[in-house]
A and B are shown apart, each in its own frame.
Chain A
Amino acid sequence: MRFLSRVWAITWKDLQSDFRTKEMLSTMLIFALLVVVIFSFAFDPGSRETAAVFPGLLWVAFFFAGLLGLNRSFVNEHSNDALQGLMLLPADRSIIYFGKVGANLVLMLIVEAVTLPVFAVFYNTGLPERWPLLLLVLPMATFGFIAVGTFLAALSANTRASEMLLPIILFPIAIPLILSAVEVTAGVFAGGDIAVLITWLKIIAVYDLVFLVVPFLLFEYVLDV
């Protein structure tokens, strides 16, 4: 319980700061909406080609918007050396990781909740028949992306070119997650064998599980880098 209450305190502290300044949230939202608008001009919304690339576009918008938030999540802790303050707390240092994951997850889910209906309108997709699957894959893939992204953001935050380094190390590691998320989303909109979609979902679940466990073992060392 103590662990969770401390994780929540860090999450709330980050959200409180961001809701006050709206630095991260507004940047992420504007980016995701710009992707929607720009690609709606590039592709004919009603065409078959657009339907084929739509799942990819959706996740490009979400993942790159999420990346903007991830880049800032540990950089903010360097002002006044606040990260040292967190490292001095009498608790396992993984609370810092999970607290950050919580805040990043909330911000990214807000961006998705706002952007998804706009996507549906601009690309004329309507409500897919398998919408419950979409409601499943969105939080699962988002969690996986935020989990690995937060871990790597902590690693890259101490480097001089952290904002350039993060995408370069994050996207190769996130390939299984990105592929699975796009495949499941394509299956939601275009149909397909449900057993195959469940296999993709299982890959996402395993990915999420790995990045739920790894920080317990390694986050302490990441902070020492």
Chain B
Amino acid sequence: MSDMIEVIGVDKQIGVKLILDGISFSVPRGQFVTVLGPNGAGKTTLLRIVATLMAPSSGRVRIAGDNISDDPVKARTRLGVMSHNTFLYDKLTAHENLAFYGRMYDVTGLDDRVEELLDQVGLTIFSNEMVQNFSRGMQQRLALARATIHKPDILLLDEPYTGLDQQAAALLTRVLSGSKDHNRTVMMITHNFEQGLALSDRLLILNRGRLASDLRSSDVDLDGLREAYYGDPADDRKGGGSE
């Protein structure tokens, strides 16, 4: 399998604080990777660097073999990003939001694609409703449709379950599980061990900017994951702060 994401010796320093310290890993095509870690571990910073939203202080990131600092625009064509912020426009309808992003990604057969996605996330009947009238769960489902409108090879998810009710979370899980059928590479950040373990092929644990563990989901159960995550309880008590 070819590597879709390669993170090679990435450091990120903001002011005097070292947020990421020599992170290296690679993600093959079609693999679902969950990144876990306490607050301040550097998870979001890592995702922002892979998403081309932030440059590393040193080290390299390659997307499908291309160095993202050489051609970030090319890398972005392969990326779909969904975070706890939806990137949606409140004053536009669900259809208008998707059509806008579709146009920006040069999606062909845009109207059909928008209808298909609205159907997938169960929002067809709310197609002409303004996003400001949507519940948090509906907005997050629409955000998932937005992130996948251009059929990206790689999906980057930052706490996608934040604020979702049971129904919306189940629908999101169903859509994310379907990513494997599309041979899509997924990198997800979450605090939820159960979701991470259930969805992913691999689990990366970050702690204080370092890659503390790299585990295969098939080799670990929930207790094992907790053990790997908390490791030395004394360490965990020290690892607070913001990302």
Contacts and interface: CB of A to CB of B under 8 A. Distances in A.
A13 B92 contact: yes
A85 B87 contact: yes
Given A13-B92, A20-B91, A80-B85, A88 B103 contact: no
A24 B108 CA distance: 33
A221 to B, nearest CB: 11
Contact of A88 (B81, B130, B139): B81
A91 B104 contact: yes
Interface string A76-93: 000111101101111110
A87 B53 CA distance: 7
DSSP class of A's interface residues: helix, strand, loop or mixed? helix
A89 B76 contact: yes
B13 interface: no
A80 B87 contact: yes
Interface residues of A, number: 21
A21 interface: yes
Interface string A59-85: 000000000000000000001111011
A159 interface: no
B215 interface: no
Given A9-B103, A13-B100, A16-B96, A88 B89 contact: no
Contacts of A87: 53
Contacts of A84: 53, 81, 83, 85, 87
Interface of A: 2, 5-6, 9, 13, 16-17, 20-21, 79-82, 84-85, 87-92
